[in-house]
Chains A and B, each alone.
Chain A
C-alpha cells in the first residue's frame, strides 16, 4: 500500500532545478544563434554609397588653352576677352577654353593660334594658322568645331568604348576553287605602315591586338544584281546583308574584348568586277562592326603585294579612325598630317567624357541594384573594384585640369573597373531565393520546438516576478 508524496516537496521540482534546466536550454540556443547568423548570411560587403553619390554629382570639365601670339595681343588687346567670351558662350559645359598669351609650349590641351598671310586655314601639330582678317566669330566657330566636334548623324557608327580591342584583318576569297584567287598578302608590312601609327597615337586610350587570316571560301548569302556591262553592283540594301557571319569564319575572341573586323573581299572570277554603288573606292563601313573593302584583282594575280595593299590599307585606316571615334577635320581646314594632334585631343576629350559619364552611371546603378535586391551578394572583388573605380574618378578630377592624357586614361580605367564590378558573375548567386522559401524551411523545426521553450520561460519569468513582489511585500523580519 503506497501513498503519494506531495510532488511539490520533491527535489527535482524545486524552482532552482527547473530554472536551471530552462536556462540551460536557452543558453545553448543563444550560443548557437551567432553560428546561425554566420552560416546563412549572404556576404554583402558595404559599398561606398556616399562617395558614389558625391561622384555622380560632380561634372567633369576638361580645359583647353588657346594661346595667341604676343604681337597680335599687343596690337589688339581686346582680342583675348572677345575670343574668350565667344568661346564661353558656345562651348558645351564639359570643355572650358582659356585664351591667353603665347607661352611657347604646346601639349595635349594647349594650342597655338597664329595668323598668317596665306589664304587657307591650316592645321599643323597643335597650331592653327589662320589667314589675317578672319572674323572672330568664324574663328571661334572653327575652334569650337576642333575642340568639341558637334554630334553628327554618323555618330552611331562609332564602336562603344573598350580599353582593349582586337583588330582582325581577313582576306576573304569568295570561292578559291573556281578560277583565280588570292593565296597570300603582305599584310604585316601594310599593318606596320598604315595601322600601327594610328594605334600608337591612341595608345593612351586603347590597347589593341592585331591578327589576320585568309579565308578561301566565303560565299555570299544573296545573289547580287548584275548590270548590262557584266559588272555586279551592290546596292545599299545589299550592303546590310553582305557580311555572311554564318559562313564566314571571322574572328571571335576567347576573351570579352570587342573585335573590330576589317574584311577584304575578293569576289570569284565570274562575278568580277564587283562595284559598290555610291562608293568610288568600293568600300563601306558597318557601324560598330568594322569595314569591308571589295577588291577586284586582275586575272593572273594571286598575291597582294605592297603596291596593291597601298590602295587598300588607307581605306582600312580610315575605317579604323571612324570606328575609334576620331573626329574628322572640319571643312575648310587643310592639314598636312594624316592624323593631327587636334583630332587626337578631341578624341581623348570625347572618350574621357563618355567613359566618365558611363562610369558614373554604372556605379550609381550598382549601388541602387545592391540596395534594392536584398539577396544579392557583394563579394570582396566587387567591393574592391568599386572602390578602385571611385578613387580613379577622384584622381581624375584632381588631374583633369593638368593633363588631358591622364584624364582620358583615368576615366577609361574607372569605366573598365565599374563595368567589371557591375557584371561580376558572383553577384547573381542568390538572386532567386524568395523569403517564403526560407520561412518554409525554418518553420517546421523552430516554430514547433521553440513554443514550449518560450512558454516555459515566460511562465517562469512571471512566477519569479510574483515571488519577488511577494517577498518584497512580506515584512522583513
Chain B
C-alpha cells in the first residue's frame, strides 16, 4: 500500500532528474596526406526545454534555473538575452579543403566567428541584446568578442540558415553574424571551454584536450553551438577539431599515431555522468596497419570503442607496417565540388582588385552562392565586376546580385551573388576596390600590419553527393558553407607623431593668408617720397 505511492514518488523524482543528458565522442581519421583529423564532440541536452521567449524579458525576473549537467554560466547568458540559436567558433590555421575534404563541423573560418538567431519583441532592440550577448560571451571565453560591433555585423540569412528549429511564437527571428579574422586562439580560450563540460577536463574524453599539443596542431578550432529541436530540447554541442601531423607530433619517422603521440595523454578515467562515451577511428583503406586495441565493433569503415563498458585506461594507436603512401597525384574524384582562391591584387595603398578564382570539379554545371561581408574600409566598385571564363568575359554567369552598400564608420558591405560554374570550368571573378583612408584615431596600435578581412563564404546550391569511393573523406553534404582564408589589406597610414604639427602648420598657413587678405582690404594706402622724408598725404 505504502509501497506504490513511494514507488511513484521515487519514479517522479527520478524522472524529474533525468531530463538532462550528456554524451561525448571523439572521431579520428587519417587524411590522404598523412595528417590526422580529430573531432571531439560534447553534447549536453536539456530535454523538453525551449529557448526563452524575448517577450518575457519585460518581466523583472526570470524563472529559477536548476541544472545538473547543463552549464549554468552558459544557461544564464542564453536566458538573459533570449537567444534561440548560437554558434561561436574560435579557429586558427587554414583548412585545406583540397587535401582534407570537408570538415565534420562546417564553421572553419579563421579567427572568431559568432552568429545567432534571436527573436524580436523584447523591451530592448535586437542590436542591444546582440551587444550584451557579445560582451557576455567575451567575458565567458576570454576572447575579444566585444569588438564585433556594428562595423562587423551583417545579416546574411541564406548561407547562415538556422541549424535547429526556430520556435513559432509569431514574432520574427533575426540573424546577427560577425567575424573577427585576427583573433588569436590560445589556452585562455580552452580553459573556459573545458569548464562548461560536466566532467571538465579531468575525466572522460575531454581529458585528452592537452593545450600544449592542441595549439601546436596544423589547424585547430573550437566551437560552441546551441540549438533547439522541438523533439529533443535545447542542445549544446561543444566541438574541438584539430588536424595534426603525426610526424611532427610524435617525433618519429612514420605516420604512426596514438593518443600518447598526438595528445601526450591517454584516457585514464571515464566520465561518470556521460550517457555515452565513444571513440571512433576511421579505418584506412590503403596500406597495412595495426590498430590497437581492437575496436569493440566496426561499422562501415569506422572502428568504435565504447568507453562506458568495461573501461580500462585507453590509448588507441595506429602503426603502419610500411612507410606511409603519399598520393603522388591529386585525389580523384576531388573531395570537394569546387576549389577556389581569393586574392587582393594591386600594389598601391589606395586601390586594388579583388580576384576570386573558382574551379568546378564536377561534370555538371553548379550554382555557387558567393558571400562577402567586407568591412567598409574596402569599397567595392560593382560596375567593374567581370567574370572571365576560358579567357573571355562572360558576365551572364552572375545572377541574383544582392548588395547592401557599406556605410563608412558604421556598417560593412554584404555582397551576395550566385555564380553559375559550367562543368569542369575555371572562372575568374574580379572586382575593383578602393581602400579607405582612416582617421588618426581609427587606426589600431600596429597600424602598419594592415587589417584582416573576414573569410568569404561559398555555398554550392545544389551539390550532388560525391562518389563515396573515396573512403577517408566525408561526403560533401548538400548546402553546407565553405570558407576561404582571410586576407590582409594594407591601408595608408598618416604619420602618427604629427597631430599637433599638422594643426600648427595648417592653421598657421590659413591664419597667414587670412591675415594678409584682411590687411590688404582694410589698411590705408600711403604715398611716400623715397628720399627719406615722410610725406604723408592722408
Direct contact of A and B (CB under 8 A): yes
Cβ contacts A186-204/B at 8 Å (1 or 0 each): 1110010000000000000
Q: Are A254 and B136 in contact (CB under 8 A)?
A: yes
Which residues 207-240 of A sit at the B interface, judged by CB distance below 8 A? 207, 209-217, 219
Q: Hey, which chain A residues are within 8 Å of B508, CB to CB?
A: 444, 448
Of the residues A6, A25, A176, A186, contact of B273 by C-beta under 8 Å = A176
Structural contact, B518 and A456, CB atoms closer than 8 A: yes
Q: Is the CB of B518 within 8 A of A207?
A: no
Q: Which residue of B lies closest to A188 (CB)?
A: B66
B62, B68, B80, B515 — most chain A CB neighbours (10 Å): B68
A161 at interface by CB-CB < 8 Å = no
Which residue of chain A lies nearest to B203 when distances are taken between CB atoms in the complex? Answer: A177
A-binding segment of B30-38, B70-78, B298-306, B329-337: B70-78
Residue pair B525, A7 in contact (C-beta under 8 Å): yes
Contacting pair B77 A214 (CB below 8 A): no
Bits for B234-270, please: 1 = Cβ < 8 Å to A, else 0.
Answer: 0000000000000000000000000000000000011
Query: Interface 1/0s, chain A 174-188, versus B by CB < 8 A?
Result: 011110010110111
Q: Specify which chain A residues have a CB less than 8 angstroms from the CB of B524 in the assembled complex.
A: 7-8, 13, 18
Given contacts A6-B537, A178-B269, A254-B80, whether A452 and B518 have CB atoms under 8 Å apart is yes
Q: Which of A8, A181, A440, A456 contacts B522 (CB 8 A)?
A: A456
The A/B interface has a contact count, at CB < 8 Å, of: 134
Cα-based distance from A303 to B18 in the complex (angstroms): 12
**Cβ-defined contact, B510 with A176, below 8 A:** no
Number of interface residues of A (CB under 8 A): 52
Contact B200 A217 (CB under 8 A): yes
Per the bound structure, the CA–CA distance linking A165 and B65 in Å amounts to 14
Q: Are A181 and B272 in contact (CB under 8 A)?
A: yes
Looking at the complex, which of A245-253, A399-407, A414-422 is the stretch in contact with chain B? A245-253
Q: How far is the CB of B139 from chain A (nearest CB, A)?
A: 8
Q: How far is the CA of A7 from the CA of B511 in the complex (A)?
A: 28
- Asked if B518 and A303 sit within 8 Å, CB to CB, the answer is no
CB <8 Å contact, B511 and A445: yes
In the assembled complex, A473 has its CB within 8 A of some CB on chain B:
no
Given contacts A13-B525, A217-B200, A249-B195, contact A207 B61 (CB under 8 A): yes
- Asked if B61 contacts A209 (CB within 8 A), the reply is yes
Could you tell me if A184 and B272 are in contact, using CB atoms closer than 8 angstroms?
no
Q: Which residue from chain B places its CB closest to the CB of A170 in the assembled complex?
A: B72
A373 at the interface (CB under 8 A from B): no
A453 interfacial contact with B, CB 8 Å: yes
23 contacts between A and B (CB under 8 A): A4-B527, A7-B526, A10-B525, A168-B72, A177-B199, A177-B272, A207-B60, A209-B61, A209-B62, A211-B66, A211-B67, A212-B64, A213-B71, A214-B69, A217-B203, A249-B72, A252-B73, A253-B76, A254-B76, A305-B13, A440-B500, A444-B504, A444-B508
Mark B residues whose CB is within 8 Å of A.
Answer: 13, 17, 60-62, 64-69, 71-73, 76-77, 80, 136, 195-196, 198-200, 202-204, 269-273, 500, 503-504, 507-508, 510-512, 514-515, 518-519, 521-527, 537-538
> A interface vs B, CB < 8 Å?
4, 6-8, 10, 13, 18, 21-22, 25, 168, 175-178, 181, 183-184, 186-188, 191, 207, 209-217, 219, 247, 249, 251-255, 303, 305, 440-441, 444-445, 448-449, 451-453, 456
